[in-house]
Amino acid sequence: MNKLKKLLLISSALLLFTANNTFAVAPATASGTITASGSVVGTCTVSASNMAFSTLNQASDTTQTSTVTATCSDGVTWTVTNADTSNNLTLTGRGSITAANTIALPLTVVSGSLNATPGTFVSGGTGNLTGISTGSAQTGTITGTVAAVAGKTAGTYGASVNLTITY
């Protein structure tokens, strides 16, 4: 009888043990992906220092430079060109433009200037400044040369050169 009690006790313990353990079936799973995309639009600005000739020489050429600064978002390819087809200094305050009160101002990009494609710096010309931005300001140099001004009307001359940055 002792054996029967032991067997009954063991059987009851096993029954209780298995009743408390639930054997669940693992849930089914599936997987998928999310594709994310976006773009960063680059921006650029361009500025230039003044090309101040001071007193123009009656007998010989006068040369001056301007530092052009392109500031673009990192990774942007940029090109600075001159939007004008010619560049002339004109006498300030004169209503009509004549040969006596107009001075030609040819602009060039010279080799050795950082980011330079040497040539004439006018719309359709071969000269320009170009680069791939690092996110910091990048510069190049434009040179202007005024030929001897003998025979020109005395006074103050000026001009604006319109720069275009393409990116």
Per domain, the residue ranges of the chain are: 44-166
pLDDT digits (tens, 9 = 90+) for 84-131: 888 888 888 777 788 889 999 999 998 766 788 899 998 888 899 999
| Whether 63 contacts 141, CB under 8 Å | no
Is the domain defined by 44-166 classed in CATH 3.40.1000?
no
- Helices then strands (H, E): number in the chain? 1, 12
pTM of the complete model: 0.74
Cβ neighbours for 61, distance < 8 A, ≥ 6 positions apart: 145, 146, 147, 148
What is the distance between the alpha carbons of residues 26 and 31, in angstroms, rounded to a whole number? Answer: 16
116 and 144 Cβ atoms separated by less than 8 Å: no
At residue 148, what is the residue type? A
